[in-house]
Structures are given as C-alpha cells and as structure tokens.
Amino acid sequence: MNDLSQYAAYLENQIKNLKLDDEPRNLFDPPRYFLSLGGKRMRPILTLISGEIFNIPKEESIHAALCIELFHNFSLIHDDIMDEAPVRRGKPTVHIKWDSKTAILCGDVLFVEAFKQLAKYPDHRFPLLLKRFNETAIEVCQGQQFDMDFESLPDVSESEYIEMIRLKTSVLLGCALELGAILGNQDEEARRNLYGFGVSLGIAFQIQDDILDLYGDPELFGKQVGGDILSNKKTLLFLKAKEIALSTNDSRFDKLVQMQPANDKIEFAKTLFEEIGAKNASQQTMNAYYDQAMENLQQLEQKGLRTDTLRELAKFLLTRKL
Amino acid sequence: MNDLSQYAAYLENQIKNLKLDDEPRNLFDPPRYFLSLGGKRMRPILTLISGEIFNIPKEESIHAALCIELFHNFSLIHDDIMDEAPVRRGKPTVHIKWDSKTAILCGDVLFVEAFKQLAKYPDHRFPLLLKRFNETAIEVCQGQQFDMDFESLPDVSESEYIEMIRLKTSVLLGCALELGAILGNQDEEARRNLYGFGVSLGIAFQIQDDILDLYGDPELFGKQVGGDILSNKKTLLFLKAKEIALSTNDSRFDKLVQMQPANDKIEFAKTLFEEIGAKNASQQTMNAYYDQAMENLQQLEQKGLRTDTLRELAKFLLTRKL
C-alpha cells in the first residue's frame, strides 16, 4: 500500500495548503476545521490514480482531485445538518461546533471552492470536466433526497435502496475516476469503464458499510456499532431481512422493529440476520458489485491500460475486518 | 419602460421552461416553486442588456442571465433559512412551506443549475465566465457572513456596512453586467466600468431599500414598513443616526434603541431620523453611489457604447416613491 499512502500524503499536504480567504473568520474557519479532520481521501486518490493511468502527472490531476474532495466535504457538511449528525470523524460536526447557519454557509463556500479548482484547467479540457461534474453534483443531491424520503416511507425496495446509494455516494467515486480519464483525453469507452468501476466499487463499499455497522469490530470500524439497527434504518441488510422474514412468515423481524433501542436489540438483530440469511445475502450482493467493478478493470486491461493500483485499492477497501 | 418589460417577459418565459429533473419530487418541486414566485429579475435583465450593448443576441446571453438568476435564488433560499425569514415575495419561504432540510438541498440544486447554464458556452468563453462567477459567489457568501456577524457586534462602522452590502448584494449586479461584457469579448476597461456601474447601482439601491423600510409607502414598498427599526437592525440610516446622535449628545437615539418593538417606536424613529438629519445623510450617500454609477456609464459612452437602457433602468430602480 506504499503507493496509496504516498497519494494520501500528497493530498493531505495539498489540502493543508489550500488558500482560502481570511475574512470574515466565521466564514473561513469552519471549512478549514472540517478539511483538517482528515478522512480516507478515497475520492481524490481515485482521481490521481486515474490520471496516472493516462500519464497525467499528479501536479495536473490535483485540481480535479481537490474539486472532488471539496465537493465531498461540502455535501458531508450539509448532509450532517440534515441528518442531525453530531460527530464526523470523531469530532463535532460544523453545525454542532458552530451552528446550522454557519454550517450552511460553510458548505456553500466549499462548493464554490470545488468549482474554482476546475477553473484551473485550460479551455479545451474545461467543458467536459464541468459537464460531468455538474451532472454528478445533481445526482448526489437526488441521492440525499431519496435517503431522507426513505425514512418516512413504509416500504422501500432493494432496487430503490441500491439506486439511492448509487446516487448518494457512488456516482462521485465514478466521477472522480472519470475526471482523470477526461484529463487523459480518453474516449468514451475508457471513461465509461472507469466510471462504472467507481460506481460499482462505491455500491459494494456502502453495502459493506451497512454490514459493518452491525457486525464490525467497534475499534476497527471507528463508529458506534448497531446505530442503524437502533433507528430501524432501511439498510440493505434490513431490507433483505424484511423480505426473507415476509416470505418465510418469520415474526421475529416485526418483533425486532418494535424493540426499544437498546443493546439487546443489536444482539437480537445480529443473531436474527445471520440465522435467516440476510447477512449472507447482503454479502453476496456486495460481491456481485465487486465483481462488476473487476469486470470494468478487465475491459480497461484489454485496452492495454495498467489497472493494478485500482485493483489493489479495491481489495484494500473491501476486505476490512467484518 | 417597454424594453425592460420585454426583457422581463422573455426571462420569465425562459425560467418557466427551465428543465429540472422530476424525481425525487421533494427535491425538484421546491426550486420550481421558488422560481415561480417571480421578483424583478433585475440581475438577469442586466446581463441581457449588457450583452445587447455588444450585439450579443438574448438567445446567447440568456444562459449567463439564467446562471445569475439561479445563483441569486440559491442564495435567497439559504439566506432565508439563516435569517429565519417566513415570507419571500408575499409567499412562504421554502423552509417554512417544506422544512430547513428541504431548503438546504433546494438551494444546493439551484446552485448546480447555475453552473449548468455556464457550461453551455463554447470553450473559449468559459474560463473567464466561470472565474468571475466563482469570485463573485465567494464574495456573496462573505457578505452574508458579515451581515450575520454584524447582528451580534456592538459597533459597526459605516464603511463596514457599505462593504457588507457591496459583497452581499451589489457584486452580483456587477457580475451580471460583466458576464455580458465577457460574452461580448470586451477589454478590461469596459468590463470594469460595467462591473463598477452594477456595484454602485446595487449599493445605492440597497441604501434606498434601507430608507424605504422606514419611510416607504407600505402599499408601494410591498413589505411591512419599519421592520428594520423594530429589530434595531444596523442599516445605514440607523448607523448615521447613531453617529449624529453621538456627536451631538442627543440621548433620543439611546431611547429609541431601548423602546419595545411597537408602532410608536417606528413613528419615533421616523421623526428622529428626519430631525437629526440621518435620513438626509443617507439619501446623500445613496446619491453619491448613484453618481458613481453614472460616471461609469459616461466612460462607456465615451468609448461609443450605447448605455441608454442602463441609464433608464438605473432611474427606474432609484426613484421608487419614498
């Protein structure tokens, strides 16, 4: 993973050196704070790797990478307000540390900063980069809205759920990779395969996250385990369990939903989902998306492109301890 | 005003025909609602007029005009959340009709839509349009933050106030005009004069708005009169009154600030600000900015450019009944 940690270090340094204005401090301190919280920087790393496949030096692809990362941070800050999330990366979210007003404007500023990064490219690269970025940005908003809508819907199908996570989290991974291909002046096929790899990887990663939320080692997972279950969140695991319970007349799922949010609810869900096969079914769906991602890589390899770093990254992201 | 109403009608039609996605409806209904509320469409009209000065047909300048209008609507929606404003253009604001989460995302969508309009221009126009638009967008955020900061500051100077309204409202008018000049492939001098005209006009207009808030005819003004006074808002009128009262040892200003928010407070302010000359001083400052705007127009005329429509618009905007 030496390569990946080098990318991460390079990015961290570039993010640290981002020039934001100074005044008013209440406008620019919050984005500085949020950017300093770290994170895996997975999305901008994808842009750098993608660029490198087409011999674009990181000094050139960095602006697209930063655009993606700034946009990602913008969307996290606004999502955290909407989801009323108190903690992000172990630290208070912006609307908690300051207030919601500050957090709204903080997100807005990072959004503009994302576009400012794109504006650094020469004329002929520009329109396609912006077009794909704009399309993705709208999709991310759509995903967030679907996610919020789902909370109050009595029923969500598995395909609706997958479409929601595709929009909310995965298209940005696809876009991160595609921007590198656009910089590399690639034809549509290469762009489509890189985009597809990112989207499928993103969906697989999100499903893994759903599984880890219940079955992860708290120390390795870095979040409270069982949060989704306590709030009856409609994750893939939950939807699979619901579907299986319905078709087998298993009343334990209804019992689970009605349980008060406490530790015994988490334990009950862990056992139930394993017993009725919901955990296994979710892992299979995750693997199917992982395979799709690998298929995209094969297509790229057949065109003579080197995809070993992407392959390595995919393995790294999807073998976190369950 | 025939010309201006034609621009307005053309714009209204273009805004009505803007294509937004359909699903999820909770994401796209709110921006449709907000865009349908109308308004003067002053900013996009400026872009169309500016383009026309350089023989850019409205079918070409419309994308820049819509970009400006969409951005303006984005910023109004987010500002309304932050300012907890219940009503905009006589109708419930988005966060009231729906909720704050919806309004945050609604603004975000309109922001992306603004960039999508810019993306319609050919390569060589693109970078400068985006650069100036990005710079302006950040300034508008700065203005909003200064405005919020001022609420809790004990003291704000007149120049700080003018800088705040320059950023919060006026630079967007300047930018609206400058985008037309960029489309017209103009040199920096013409761009600077158009931008300067817009900024000065915007400041004059905002000062007029401050004065009208207290002295306007409620029916013509379209808002509740005296709202600023009831909340001790630091408008130019208020700051001028404070300064004069301080230098003349007039205790009535302190009395005003301490009065409960009721009708007699408004009447007291009207009389006081007139008697001590704060109203007159504010009008003089407004006129000075108006004169600066006219100065910019003269410079443009000396280059042989036709500025009669802009002159007409400025007169129209700044002679609303006091």
Residues A76 and A192 in one domain: no
For the beta carbon of residue B301, count every other beta carbon within 10 angstroms. Answer: 14
Q: Answer yes or no: is A176 within a domain.
A: no
Q: What are the structure tokens assigned to A282, written together?
A: 């979710």
Tell if the CB–CB gap between A130 and B109 is shorter than 8 Å.
no
Of B104, B108, B115, the CB nearest to A130: B115
Give me Rg for the CA atoms of chain B: 20
Beta strands (DSSP E) in chain A are: 87-88, 91-92
Residues A308 and A218 in one domain: yes
Which of B105, B125, B131, B182 best tests the A interface by mutation, with the highest count of A CBs <10 A? B105
Residues A309 and A223 in one domain: yes
Residues A82 and A211 in one domain: no
CA A51, distance to chain mean position in Å, is 20
**CATH number of A89's domain:** 1.10.600.10
Single residue among A116, A131, A146 that ends a domain in this structure: A131
Q: What are the structure tokens assigned to A63, written together?
A: 């602006």
Q: Please check whether residue B105 touches A, CB under 8 A.
A: yes
Single residue among A99, A131, A163 that ends a domain in this structure: A131
Q: Answer yes or no: is A78 within a domain.
A: yes
Q: Answer yes or no: is A140 within a domain.
A: no
Query: Tens digit of pLDDT per residue, chain B (322 long)?
Result: 457 889 999 999 999 999 998 899 999 999 999 999 988 899 999 999 999 999 999 999 999 999 999 999 999 999 999 999 999 998 999 999 999 999 999 999 999 999 999 989 877 788 889 999 999 999 999 999 999 999 999 999 999 999 999 999 999 999 999 999 999 999 999 999 999 999 999 999 999 999 999 998 877 766 678 989 999 999 999 999 999 999 999 999 999 999 999 999 999 999 999 999 999 999 999 999 999 999 999 999 999 999 999 999 999 898 754 4
Residues A12 and A106 in one domain: yes
Which of B145, B147, B156 best tests the A interface by mutation, with the highest count of A CBs <10 A? B145
Chain A residues closer than 8 Å to B111 by CB: 108, 111
Whose structure tokens read 């007699």?
Answer: B264
Q: Answer yes or no: is A275 within a domain.
A: yes
Residues A97 and A213 in one domain: no
Q: Answer yes or no: is A14 within a domain.
A: yes
Single residue among A96, A131, A166 that ends a domain in this structure: A131
Q: Are residues A17 and A35 in contact, defined by beta-carbon separation less than 8 angstroms?
A: no
Residues A192 and A322 in one domain: yes
Q: Are residues B172 and B202 in contact, defined by beta-carbon separation less than 8 angstroms?
A: yes
Residues A191 and A113 in one domain: no
Q: Answer yes or no: is A303 within a domain.
A: yes
Give every CB contact of residue B258 below 8 A, 6+ residues apart in sequence: none
Q: Answer yes or no: is A266 within a domain.
A: yes
> Complex ipTM, two decimals?
0.92
Q: List the one residue out of B147, B202, B143 whose CA is nearest residue B177.
A: B202
- Kindly state the DSSP code that residue B170 receives in the 8-state scheme: I
Residues A194 and A127 in one domain: no
pTM, to two decimals: 0.94
Of A21, A101, A122, the CB nearest to B148: A101
Report the b/e string of A198-237 with b at 16+ CB within 10 A. bbbbbbbbbbbbbbbbbbbeeeebeeebbebbbebebbbb
Chain B residues closer than 8 Å to A107 by CB: 104, 108
| Spatial distance between the Cα atoms of B36 and B16, rounded to a whole number of angstroms | 7
B91-92 and B87-88 strand pairing: antiparallel
- Name the residue range of residue A246's domain: 187-322
Which of A18, A129, A145 best tests the B interface by mutation, with the highest count of B CBs <10 A? A145
Residues A117 and A209 in one domain: no
Total tally of structural domains belonging to chain A:
2
| Spatial distance between the Cα atoms of B54 and B96, rounded to a whole number of angstroms | 42
B24 vs chain A: nearest CA distance in angstroms?
A: 6
Is the pLDDT reported for residue A322 higher than 60?
Answer: no
> From residue A235, how far is each of A152, A153, A251, B65, B313 by CA, in Å?
14, 13, 19, 43, 56
Residues A203 and A278 in one domain: yes
| Spatial distance between the Cα atoms of B74 and B115, rounded to a whole number of angstroms | 12
Q: Answer yes or no: is A22 within a domain.
A: yes
Q: Are residues A107 and A128 in contact, defined by beta-carbon separation less than 8 angstroms?
A: no
Chain B residues closer than 8 Å to A116 by CB: 134, 138
